[in-house]
Amino acid sequence: MNSTNVSPAAFVVSLVVAVVDVALLVIALVRLARTPAGRRTLPWPAWLAIIVLVHPIGAIVFLIVGRRRAPVTDESLVGRSGRPGTPRSTTPTGGVDSPGQGTAAEAIDELYGPENHGSENDGK
């Protein structure tokens, strides 16, 4: 009895799954090793056991919930809400109160010329 009767498509699929599986394991282990102790949600030995023994689910779980977010060190990136990426404050005209930042109307004037906010074919 010949046990090597595997279709080429099944072989390719199993090879791709194996490569993705090994890559996921390596990525999770490297991220575990490079994550500072203060940012891990569980101790290092616990995550190592979860990643290796409950593979590949453990690696996926670690990559999703195993690390806390890094604190933002640049205060200009933190807005009023305390979340990165939100503007610090806005003016009533919609511009951002930052040096070198203008309003939307000023940006439109810069791009399209002053008071030319419509199409040139308007009204014809």
Burial class (CB in 10 A: 0-12, 13-18, 19+), 70: exposed
User: pLDDT tens for residues 3-62?
Assistant: 578 899 999 999 999 999 999 999 999 999 998 888 898 999 999 999 999 988 999 999
**pTM > 0.85:** no
Beta bridge partners of 75: none
3-state secondary structure of 91: coil
Question: Do 50 and 58 touch, CB atoms closer than 8 A?
Answer: yes
For the cut 90, the answer to whether the pLDDT of residue 97 exceeds it is no
- pLDDT, residue 95, reads 47
